[in-house]
Structure 1
């Protein structure tokens, strides 16, 4: 766990950007370089504003053969269907080319949305604090410094309830182990982040480490041992996805509805998006 006096903050109490190129583990350096080259070649300078890598690779905690590659592509205009198709093809190419990674996920947005007032405490925070620049102008320069406030908690994860119908449909339709593992990883990570940000303003810090996030949550819900156990399960599943249908049922049908209701009671609902 991070030093008790650190908690992911700068000396002035703002949240420190968590990744950097220098932290990329050596086995993943070729992966990141290939991502840089292929993104530039796919979109070109006229279309591409900037690109970023986030997650365990720039944090320096990635495990070869286990960790996935997480990317953000920022365009100069609104993404089109062709842009989305190009990103899906890029994901498949990178995943097939490197045994070091177990999957690739690339988010696609336009720069104006990422720096908009509506997204200031959600996607804006994501870029400024959780993303490491790969290409182009770093949008973090256009964004403010962030603190672990209730506003940040509300705007990052105050919409968990909207994800539940989709998760239920995907869980019901998952017939292969690969489908269940992919869904369990995404659901588990979202639930751990939500559990952590639920208590983040009281902890007064930031972490993206799944195990640490679950333990921070546990400090503030000692009277909910069943929820602590479930969030720890989610943290383990986020790192090592499970194909067990019972795990998905626990996360989607038990932990997620409770967490969504508790979040609304504590922080309120995220500002609606168009």
Structure 2
């Protein structure tokens, strides 16, 4: 069922993205990777291996490429990297910029880098545990995701995923005020705040949506009269979001999180 038909039939709670028992479905897999992204993924893995060497433990893919829904020339390549010790990623970032000039099929490569001991700490099971078990697929090294139990939508998970949301909004506002933000960054922060808003109601909805379109569809069910839902849709459809439009939207959305 495509998203349009699914949206027409959604009812509260939608339970979108969960199985019959209520557990969140991991929608990423190496078997979903589209052929046009295989080369850039392989080269990115090699860059990480060379840059981190013996400090590297494992690499995980997440996001649209991991779900098989990426669009060439529009999507990011998203990788989570586990290392043994804190490490300087300067060399990796520099080499990645060169790689991107050779591979326009992705617009950027994001690395979420964390220490193995931190990821495996039971205190972080609602952050790292959920992230690795339900949002990632291992593409190199030993897969530690299976060490974590299956989880249902949980307020502690939503809070962990939203923990840096306000600081991200404030950072984007600062860039806007100084005129130092690209169109891609604008779209990225709009998507981020929409997902963040959705995560304030996903436990009530017994769901875990992975796309911004699904988040918007669910938000529309719970906030049918809130203009910020349609404003978010409109901004994401625009070829060029003005600084003032985005600043106004971010200020409106901040009301949900402070």
Instruction: State the TM-score, normalizing by the size of structure 2.
Output: 0.86
CA distance in 1, matches of 2:163, 2:232: 17
Work out which of the residue numbers 123, 142, 145 in structure 1 matches 2:147: 142
Matches within 5 A, 1:30-69: 30-44=39-53, 46-69=54-77
Q: Are 1:100 and 2:101 counterparts?
A: no
Q: Relative to 1, partners in 2 of residues 1:194 and 1:65: Cα closer, same or farther, differing over 3 Å?
A: same
**Matched residue, 1:267:** none
Q: Which runs of 4+ in 1 moved over 6 A?
A: 3-6
CA deviation digits over 1:81-120, x for unaligned, max 9? xx22023124213312212111221122111222223432
**Matched residue, 2:189:** 187
How far residue 211 of structure 1 moved from its aligned partner, in angstroms, is 0.8
How far residue 16 of structure 1 moved from its aligned partner, in angstroms, is 1.5
CA distance in 1, matches of 2:240, 2:111: 22
Out of 110-119 and 4-13, give the one that drifted further.
4-13
CA deviation digits over 1:244-273, x for unaligned, max 9? 213321332222x12213xxxxxxxxxxxx
The 8 Å contact of residues 15 and 206 in structure 2, kept in 1 or not, is answered as no
Q: Residue 132 of structure 1 aligns to a residue in which SS?
A: strand
How far residue 143 of structure 1 moved from its aligned partner, in angstroms, is 1.9
In structure 1, stretches of 5+ residues that fail to align are 262-274
Aligned-residue CA RMSD (Å): 2.3
Work out which of the residue numbers 200, 221, 232 in structure 2 matches 1:198: 200
Q: Relative to 1, partners in 2 of residues 1:195 and 1:140: Cα closer, same or farther, differing over 3 Å?
A: same
Work out which of the residue numbers 24, 32, 57 in structure 2 matches 1:15: 24
Q: Are 1:217 and 2:219 counterparts?
A: yes
CA distance in 1, matches of 2:98, 2:109: 9
The 8 Å contact of residues 195 and 231 in structure 1, kept in 2 or not, is answered as no
CA distance in 1, matches of 2:197, 2:147: 29
CA deviation digits over 1:57-104, x for unaligned, max 9? 11111111111111111111123xxx2202312421331221211122
How far residue 243 of structure 1 moved from its aligned partner, in angstroms, is 4.6
CA distance in 1, matches of 2:242, 2:67: 29
Q: Are 1:28 and 2:25 counterparts?
A: no
* Corresponding residue pairs, total: 249
Choose between structure 1 and 2 for higher RCO, CA contacts under 8 A separated by at least 6 residues.
2
Out of 183-192 and 204-213, give the one that drifted further.
183-192
The 8 Å contact of residues 19 and 54 in structure 1, kept in 2 or not, is answered as yes
The 8 Å contact of residues 77 and 109 in structure 2, kept in 1 or not, is answered as yes
How far residue 209 of structure 1 moved from its aligned partner, in angstroms, is 1.1
CA distance in 1, matches of 2:163, 2:55: 32
The 8 Å contact of residues 195 and 214 in structure 1, kept in 2 or not, is answered as no
